[in-house]
Amino acid sequence: MAIKTQKGTKDVLPEENAQWKKILDSAYKIFRQANFKRISTPIFEATELFQRGVGDSTDIVNKEMYSFDKNGHSLTLRPENTAGVVRAFLEHTMQRDIQPVKLWYFGPMFRYERPQAGRQRQFHQIGVEMFGSEDASADADCIYTAVKFFESVGLQNLSVELNSLGCNDCRDKFRAKLKALIEPHLDSLCEDCKKRFETNPLRILDCKNPDCKDVFEKNQILEKLSKLELCEECSNHYEKLKSYLDMLNVKYVENPFLVRGLDYYTRTVFEVKSENLGSQNAVCGGGRYDNLVETLGGPHVPAVGWAVGMERLYSLTEKVEEPKLDYFVVSDNIKEALKLANELRSKDKTAELDYSSRKFAKQIEKAGKISNYAVIVGENELEQGTLTVKNLNTFEQQTVNREEFLKSL
């Protein structure tokens, strides 16, 4: 029996990689314009990094991590990249660099969960992180960069769902009020929500279980909860953020019950959505995490960021065909064909040859499928120092001096 890909993993085939490249090209361009610089961190890290950084109360840490022991050390394939970027930020003392430090990343992540459309056990994320500014302008710039990036890959009718979770003091009051409203109905909630009630009750607001949603609706818990009451400092931060987004013409909708799924968020949380996508309209999510650097053993460094799944973006963007090659060398002399193909490549052109010296007609037929031009090198061309260049779109051809043709490239 042939060995196949493992459940929750997927091969990215050549025809798909053309679209991945287009998305990444946009990422390099948009992020560079905003002074984000790429960082690449290891695929596995110490398990403790995610336990402390992502949070013991999250589904990621409790259920979804791929962890293994090696020589007495517990290691984990990264389920997300923010914790790894913060670890790199501290390890390489970037807090001493000119602030803010603006980084972006791309790479595979791993979570053990039920595979479904657009969600795999090995998936890829693009994300940005900004360290060193606690002003709401940093949040606004991150959000604006996300919107511009998604527009650049062809997504339309974008808006931002926005909330502030406040500081620790704000959340403590909100958490107490939420627990008081939920406790009489706790037995009717799912097992996950019962656990979250003790560890992180805010996460109950993010539960997707329809039975839990029914409990909330029947007992008007959200109506009674109202929105989180922010302290003066957090309220000012949130109002400034909205004014910056207004100035940047970023459409947003306030959602007082948006909490996101990670423990480290403080103040700003957001999701970018496209109105063209129906009920599953979320494209990316992120927020501010002012305490994470400190949690992982560093000084107090405010930070904000977001991430998007590459597979999700791939499913939402227009399919791209791999461009045809510039030239296909047609010859019955493999040695000369190989030489010319690499001369063309050295001129920054794409070129291929036939490695089996088939008949010219077969070679030209193949060339017509994968390239724009056929460059024919037969006995006459070799004797005269010429090339016959055939346009495979118009079928026009001309004989040119080989040396002059290569120089003209």
- Domains belonging to the chain, first-starting first, are 14-156+282-316 (3.30.930.10), 325-408 (3.40.50.800)
φ/ψ of 153, rounded to 5, equals: -100, 5
pLDDT at 394: 94
Between the alpha carbon of residue 89 and those of residues 132, 287, 298, 308, the distances in Å are 11, 18, 9, 21
Q: Work out the end-to-end distance of the chain between its first and last CA atoms, rounded to an integer number of angstroms.
A: 50
Distance CA 252, CA 239 (A): 13
pLDDT at 217: 82
Task: Verify cis geometry, omega within 30 degrees of 0, for the bond prior to 100.
Answer: yes
Exposed/middle/buried for residue 115 (C-beta within 10 Å: 0-12, 13-18, 19+): middle
Phi/psi region, residue 365 (left: phi>0; alpha: psi -120 to 50; beta: rest), is: alpha
pLDDT at 276: 62
pLDDT at 208: 77
User: Residue 92: how many CB atoms within 10 A of its CB?
Assistant: 11
Tens-level pLDDT at each residue, the chain (409 residues): 899 999 999 999 988 999 999 999 999 999 999 999 999 999 999 999 999 888 766 777 878 899 999 888 999 999 999 999 999 999 999 999 999 999 999 999 999 988 776 678 999 999 999 999 999 999 999 999 999 999 999 998 899 999 998 998 888 887 788 888 888 888 888 888 888 887 778 778 777 788 888 888 888 777 777 666 889 999 999 999 999 999 999 999 998 878 776 668 899 999 999 876 656 678 999 999 999 999 999 999 999 999 999 998 998 888 888 889 999 999 999 999 999 999 999 999 999 999 987 899 999 999 999 999 999 999 999 999 999 999 999 999 999 999 999 999 9
- pTM metric for this prediction: 0.86
pLDDT at 262: 66
For the sheet with 371-377, list strands across it: 351-353, 325-331, 371-377, 386-391, 397-401
pLDDT at 225: 72
